[in-house]
Amino acid sequence: MELSALGAAGRYAAARPATEPVSGSASGLAASLARDFAATLQESEAISTAAMTGGADPHALVQALAQTELAVETAVAVRDKVVEAYQEILRMPV
């Protein structure tokens, strides 16, 4: 594998959109995250049902459960931060 400045610059330019912030409102971002969370749960439920009936690979079931666990932990962490921020606002003197 040859490394050159031009090749490195091209790869950097290709990866750059992944590091740029998402434009849009916070409510749009929250709605997008909620849709992604619901889709993850629905996909995991479908794979779990298929595994119970013998139509899915056990490895796919384990992977779906791990993705669901990560999604739920992330949602709980975000909820905790929102509640913490709300409580901080309530403690502010008027």
Q: Six-digit token pair at 36?
A: 């992604």
> Positive or negative CA dihedral for 80, 83, 85, 91?
negative
C-alpha–C-alpha distance, residues 61 and 49, integer Å? 9
Residue 55 has a pLDDT of 84
At 23 the three-state DSSP class reads coil
User: For the segment 49-82, what is each residue's pLDDT rounded down to a tens digit?
Assistant: 999 888 888 888 899 999 999 999 999 999 999 9
What are the backbone dihedrals phi and psi of residue 44, each rounded to the nearest 5 degrees, phi first? -65, -40
Query: What residues does each domain of the chain span?
Result: 24-91
